[in-house]
Amino acid sequence: MTNLNPSQNTSRFARFMDSDVLHSFLRSPSAMIAAFITLIFILAALFAPLLAPYNPFDPSQISLWDGKLPPSFAGGDERFFLGTDNQGRDMLSTILYGGRLSIIVGLAAVFLGMLLGVTLGIISGYLGGTFDAVIMRIADVQLTIPGILLAILINGVGRAFLPVDIRDEFAIYVVIIAIGLSDWPQFARITRGATLVEANKEYIASARVIGLPSWLIMMRHLLPNVLRPVLVLATLGLATAIISEATLSFLGQGIPPTTPSLGTLIRVGNEFLFSGLWWITLFPAIALVILVFSVNLFGDWLRDALNPKLR
Amino acid sequence: MSELLKITDLNVEFVARRGTIKAAQDINLTVAPGEVLGLVGESGAGKSTIGNAIVDLLEHPGRVAGGSILFQGEELRGKTEAEMRSIRGDRIGMIFQDPQTALNPLMMIGDQLIETIIKTRGYDQKRAYECAIELLEGVGIDNAKVRLKAYPHQFSGGMRQRVVIALALAGKPELVIADEPTTALDVSIQAQILDLIKQLCEERQLGVIIVTHDIGVIASIATRVAVMYRGKIVETGKVAQILGDPQHEYTKALISAVPRADKKYHRFEAVDYIEGGATRKPIDIATHWLGKSRHQSDDQTPAVLVKNLDLSFTLQNALLKKNRKMLRAVNDVNFDIKQGETFGIVGESGSGKSTIARLIAGLYTPDRGEISIQGQSVLGNQRDANIKMARRKLQMIFQDPYSSLNSRLNVMNIVAEPIRFYKLTSSEAETRQIVGDLLDHVGLGASVANRFPHEFSGGQRQRISIARALATRPQILICDEPTSALDVSIQAQILNLLKDLQEDLGLTMLFISHDLPVIRQTCDRIAVMRSGQICELAETEELFNNPQHEYSQHLLGLMPKLDLLG
Amino acid sequence: MFAFIARRLAQSLLVMAVVSAVAFSLFNFVGDPVNNMVGQDATRERRAEIRLQLGLDDPIPVQYVRFIGNMLQGDFGVSYRIKQPVDQLILERLPATLELVFVSAIISLVVGIVAGVYTGIHRNSWISRSILSSSLIGVSLPTFIIGIALIYIFAVHLRWLPSSGRAGTIDFGWWKTSLLSLEGWRSILLPAITLSLFQLTMILRLVRAEMMEVMQTDFIKFARARGLSERAINYGHALRNTLVPVITIIGLNIGGLIAFSVITETVFQWPGTGLMFIQAVDFVDVPIMSAYLVFVAILFVVINLVVDLLYAAVDPRIRIGNG
């Protein structure tokens, strides 16, 4: 099926330019700032190797002699703007690399949860029957347990099943799977709810009368129409996933200190907090909070903007 | 006659992003005690806005921009919220459209009544309780003492509307504003509620403003009527005079578009005042792609044959079969539709008429029985090539034009979808050409192909639906309440279009509706349904002139009397 | 109503079956249970003896049934690391966790519901606006960062409160409480605030959203049209309809607190079950891990059952049905 022609594209673009969502975005300074900061973080994560003054994973660039130096503006060495950690790694560089890891894990986990949840949700909602009953019972039960606890439990069990020597190597995948598995039911439930509403609408009945097969109805008609709430959930879910990863790492159950994420950095720094090395904890913590806050702020705005009832 | 309410030069506007919308402009109205003023107009005419403006309950961002509202000689504009609160309920009562949502679901209706009585009349608890019983009895609810302790969900829709009316009357108001009070109800309940309002109005010398889109309601209850069009009152006067001898062009168009139950026309006239520009460019069917599917075979095989059809829905599931609550939506239904005829099914909500349409269209599978399309049975394995072929000959048009189009696709992709799916053309260019022709044919014009559904009005969307239904070159068209979500004037246009198409293409039609006059204007034969069964099946003229079954007689008796129309 | 409860019970049993299966497979497939018990260098005979003792040579289903049987008697085996019976260890640490959750629940429910109702009613006051903005910050602050910040400010910098541990406990033999002494309250304050903060903001936002949803309904509009006072509308009609979903929120809240107690206990080295679990994961102490899994599952099943019953008690549409 070819449905690409220039006039349609301009029309779609015009639709976007004229949409209430864009209008609301341009009139909400907090949404714009949030989107801007989130974008900066994502770009910084993408280009961390180019932006970072040092490579914290290259032993030749690290010297224990440079360890525990305070930030340059607080009496430290001017080579290290945000100071160094206990092993002499430049904090600014480690935060850039750590943020990169946090965002990658967050995105991957949300994507996994979304893929699983949306697929199961649409099939459940549209086909119903036993499949629906089973999937939704599982989701119901899982939803009563908070995601972070599940992530901790799944992660713990997952680690236990891995032999000790490869545990660190595969830690990142275990974390992604643990977080992704812990939030698919939210996606499934919201998708199923939207699917039930949409499936009762007459354009679906009409597609069935035309004789389109179920898979085509789900892909072409249902999917685009249920994505709005999923989009909101995915944005807010990204914030939660980043927190979850940081929490797991902070608990020492996540990303190992050899390739630290923001959570791992805070964990390491926390051990030196009492001895006055505040910068090792403070800067990663600030980076984490700003990142999560701007994603949340953007998600919050998106939810209100896409919900016509609240306007 | 002294005036209860006098509105002069009222203006209401809604400040929106794309500019200010003038919802009501220069409105002048009066209501006298004991008088029912009908405020009639189509959707978007601004009729509800006036009711809300009187009691100062306009929804954000609406505001009164000018004019005066005199109630018993007292200016309501500029009153504080506290002053208005003592007027609402106390002196002006409101009745809303949907009784399902107007009552607090967690509060016994007695408590809701007593609370309102204490607030408006200042009675003590005991007196308020007695008064509540009196009120409930007054609106025709039996066993009022017991019913006071019931929650809203324990009442039926009609009974709930009676409770809503009792609540509106709790403060002994002098003026009652009823906003579409019967729209959510079935015809037979509708008549009862209108009678109740009329009776209360006479007994208590109330002034009543009834806001409605339904000329039938106006004809049966109002003393005077004001016709609204795009925020303005175009005509005011006695009901008999306005309906019998309308002066304004819009009123004339509106009234001529009302389907008549007492006589049959070929087409509706003079309906283009409202949504003009729908110029149809019919295509030459004899040579066109669309005409190639026209049925050539013998006319003896029925287009649709339905035999012993049964379908039950599970209302409440349970492990044991005897505990399951089942609803027999369709109960042993038999009929056949001849080639080229329009077959009507009429009944109240829950009668099973739409279920039959959906069964025939393959959206539901029957528990028992037989359905065949042009002699081919269509039950059984849906992948069977013969069944698929037979099903393609049948298409359906739905009730709600706002949900029957996928809002993510443009008109081209919506209409072209069946053509592309079945590869009915040899090239994409041909597909586009045909979609353009179809859009011309239904009176939209090929130029709309790149636009999206939200850019169209309800009537235009229904035309898109019709174009999509025609795209598989069907011979049978099922129309499930195709006009019940539309304004009367648009309804007339769509009914005219369906009639034209049927003549051009020789379509067979199954027409489902709750609206007897519409059925009379469109159908050749009619089946009257109740509780899943056909009570009577007759030729249209025979049914309307000489109904045999008790229920048909009952239904026909409930039709609004439109004798006032010329 | 009866069928509703029966269905919920069946569902709960299913959950327990699944969780116990996971717990069981942890036991059997993670590492070698015999090595874990007696170390690498035990003799062959000793190993065989232990295998026999543990019944490791029996078919898997038999082992599973025995596992369930032991579990029902509260027997989860002996911790690999601490070498003590797991049920004893859990019972010892349970009061610490429950007290922490209890104090946090009170804080988050009281403050959350009051602030939620306030912001729901006074939608546009500047107090509401600032409460809402700070609530978004609250949602964005990971629990462990709140904990670290509070420790840094109140323990390291101001030296007002202890930074970790559970002091001033009074022992009743079967329950050690920290709620009966000043020292106990001083030590529970920071962890409880840390734990409650996130839940508090969640409750606030949910209550507010629910309140605003209710305010949009037709029956509120109709109540206005009857001239009822704002007070009667807000507290008589809207609040009551808001509180039905709030009951679910209480259930979610307690669940959330139990979840986040794992983190809070780690930050504050609070000697509860959560901290024990994290330490067990570090050392792959399987008996404690699987016991904790089962323990958490039981807690959640109970919470959900109670919530369902409460729900039915409040909403006449469920309680009475159609008349």
Using a CB-CB distance cutoff of 8 angstroms, which residues of chain C are in contact with residue A266?
144-145, 148
- For A144, phi then psi, to 5°, come to -75, -15
Rounded to two decimals, the ipTM of the complex is 0.78
Angle between helical axes of C143-150 and A262-270 (0-180°, round to 10): 20
Which residues on chain A place their C-beta less than 8 Å from a C-beta of chain C? 137, 140-141, 144-146, 148-149, 152-153, 156-157, 159-161, 239, 243, 246-247, 250-253, 266, 270, 273-274, 278, 281, 285, 288-289, 292-293, 296-297, 300, 309-310
Q: Which amino acid is at B201?
A: C
The whole-number pLDDT of residue B340 equals 87
B185-199, B529-543, C35-49, C98-112: least confident range: C35-49
Q: Do A146 and C259 touch (CB under 8 A)?
A: yes
Q: Does A215 touch chain B (CB under 8 A)?
A: no
Q: Does B472 touch chain A (CB under 8 A)?
A: yes
Chains touching A (at least 3 CB pairs under 8 A) are B, C
The whole-number pLDDT of residue A14 equals 60
Q: Does C236 touch chain B (CB under 8 A)?
A: yes
Residue C18 or C34, more confident: C18
- Say yes or no to pLDDT of C294 above 80: yes
Residue A230 or C72, more confident: A230
- d(CA B266, CA C184) in angstroms, rounded, equals 90
Using a CB-CB distance cutoff of 8 angstroms, which residues of chain C are in contact with residue B168?
225-226
Let me know: does B40 contact B213? Beta carbons within 8 Å: yes
What is the per-residue pLDDT across C267-288, written as a single tens digit (0 to 9) for each?
888 888 889 988 888 877 888 8
Most C CBs within 10 A among A33, A136, A175, A243, hence the mutation to make, goes to A243
What is the per-residue pLDDT across C120-147, written as a single tens digit (0 to 9) for each?
888 788 888 888 888 888 888 888 888 8
Q: Is the preceding peptide bond at B61 cis, omega within 30 degrees of 0?
A: yes
Q: Do B472 and A206 touch (CB under 8 A)?
A: no
Chains touching C (at least 3 CB pairs under 8 A) are A, B
In the numeric block, which tokens belong to residue C88? 């004893």
Q: Find, among A215, A224, A141, the residue nearest to A185 by Cα.
A: A141
Classified as helix, coil or strand, C101 is: helix
Using a CB-CB distance cutoff of 8 angstroms, which residues of chain B are in contact with residue A128?
none
- d(CA A309, CA B10) in angstroms, rounded, equals 28
Using a CB-CB distance cutoff of 8 angstroms, which residues of chain C are in contact with residue A251?
144, 262-263, 266, 278
Using a CB-CB distance cutoff of 8 angstroms, which residues of chain C are in contact with residue B107?
237, 240
Q: Do A145 and C296 touch (CB under 8 A)?
A: yes
The whole-number pLDDT of residue C169 equals 76
Convert B468-494 to b/e letters by CB count within 10 Å (16 or more is b). Answer: bbbbbbbbbbbbbbbbebbbbbbbbbb
The whole-number pLDDT of residue A1 equals 33
Average pLDDT value for residue range C18-40:
73
- Say yes or no to pLDDT of A3 above 70: no
- Say yes or no to pLDDT of C8 above 90: no
CB pairs under 8 A between A and C: 111
Tell me how many degrees the CA angle C69-C73-C75 measures, rounded to the nearest 5: 90
Q: Do B115 and C240 touch (CB under 8 A)?
A: no
The whole-number pLDDT of residue B231 equals 87
Mean pLDDT of chain A: 81
The whole-number pLDDT of residue A4 equals 35
Query: Closest residue of C to B86, CA-based?
Result: C227
- d(CA B91, CA B152) in angstroms, rounded, equals 25
What does pTM read for this prediction? 0.79
Q: Which residue's entry shows tokens 């509708």?
A: B190
Counting runs of H as helices and runs of E as strands, what totals does chain A give? 13, 0
- d(CA A78, CA A72) in angstroms, rounded, equals 5
Most A CBs within 10 A among B403, B419, B455, B456, hence the mutation to make, goes to B403
Q: Smallest CA–CA separation between C72 and chain B, in Å?
A: 30
The whole-number pLDDT of residue B297 equals 54
- Say yes or no to pLDDT of A166 above 70: yes
The whole-number pLDDT of residue B298 equals 58
Q: Which amino acid is at B128?
A: A
Q: Do A146 and C260 touch (CB under 8 A)?
A: yes
B538-542, C104-108, C307-311: least confident range: C307-311
The whole-number pLDDT of residue A311 equals 37
Q: Which residue's entry shows tokens 């007994």?
A: B203
Q: Smallest CA–CA separation between A287 and chain C, in Å?
A: 11
What is the per-residue pLDDT across A138-160, written as a single tens digit (0 to 9) for each?
887 787 777 888 888 888 888 87
Q: Find, among B1, B10, B2, B24, the residue nearest to B69 by Cα.
A: B10
Total residue length of chain A? 311
What is the per-residue pLDDT across A98-115, written as a single tens digit (0 to 9) for each?
888 889 999 999 999 999
Q: Do B17 and A20 touch (CB under 8 A)?
A: yes
In the numeric block, which tokens belong to residue B347? 């009944």
Which residues lie across from B345 on neighbouring strands? B512, B527
Q: Does A20 touch chain B (CB under 8 A)?
A: yes
The whole-number pLDDT of residue A5 equals 37
Q: Do C241 and B102 touch (CB under 8 A)?
A: no
Using a CB-CB distance cutoff of 8 angstroms, which residues of chain A are in contact with residue B472?
210-211
In this structure, how many other beta carbons lie within 10 angstroms of the beta carbon of residue C292? 25
- d(CA B164, CA B89) in angstroms, rounded, equals 12
Interface of C with B in 300-319 (CB under 8 A): 314-317
Q: Find, among B273, B233, B238, B228, the residue nearest to B252 by Cα.
A: B273
pLDDT band for A11, please (50, 70, 90 cuts): low
The tens place of each residue's pLDDT in chain B, 566 residues long, gives: 478 999 999 999 888 776 788 888 999 999 999 899 999 988 778 888 898 999 988 887 888 988 999 999 899 988 898 899 889 888 999 998 888 888 988 888 999 999 999 988 889 999 999 999 999 998 888 888 888 988 888 888 888 889 999 999 888 899 999 998 888 787 778 888 898 999 989 988 999 999 998 888 888 889 999 999 888 999 999 998 998 888 888 888 888 888 877 777 777 765 555 555 456 666 666 667 776 655 555 567 888 999 999 998 876 666 566 666 777 888 899 999 998 899 999 988 888 898 999 999 999 999 999 999 988 888 888 888 888 888 888 999 998 888 889 888 889 999 999 999 988 888 889 999 999 988 888 888 888 888 888 888 888 899 999 999 999 888 899 999 998 888 888 888 889 889 888 888 888 999 999 888 888 888 999 999 998 899 999 999 899 888 999 999 988 887 766 665 65
Using a CB-CB distance cutoff of 8 angstroms, which residues of chain B are in contact with residue C244?
106
A163-172, A272-281, B264-273: least confident range: B264-273
User: How would you classify the pairing of strands B207-212 and B175-179?
Assistant: parallel
The whole-number pLDDT of residue B566 equals 52
Q: Which amino acid is at B104?
A: N
DSSP line for A53-114 = SS-TT-GGG--GGGTTPPPGGGTS-TT-TT-B-TT--BHHHHHHHHHHHHHHHHHHHHHHHH
Counting Cβ atoms within 10 Å, is residue C22 exposed (0-12), middle (13-18) or buried (19+)? middle
